[in-house]
Amino acid sequence: MSLEKYKEVIHKDFLKDIDFINKTIIKLNLPPDSKIIDIGTGIGAMSILLALNNLNVLTGE
């Protein structure tokens, strides 16, 4: 998955963790449309990654 078009949204410090997070999402092997709560969403970088992996994300600050 290429996240180049999301670089402006995703914080530069967060970019170095993307591979780890994507591997973790894949390892969890959640069914598509699983419900995920992202608490402390900030700019939404994690929510973007979760949504790109076909997960249903509820966010809140």
What is the arithmetic mean of pLDDT over 42-58?
Answer: 88
What is the DSSP-derived secondary structure letter of residue 55?
Answer: -
Dihedral of CA 28/33/35/38: which sign?
Answer: positive
Q: What is the pLDDT of residues 5-27, one digit of tens each?
A: 666 666 666 666 777 778 888 88
- pTM, full prediction: 0.64
Q: Which of 46, 40, 43 is nearest to 17 (CA)?
A: 46
Do residues 50 and 36 touch, judged by C-beta distance below 8 A?
yes
Which runs of consecutive H residues, i.e. helices, occur in the chain?
Answer: 12-15, 18-28, 45-52
Dihedral of CA 26/31/37/41: which sign?
Answer: positive
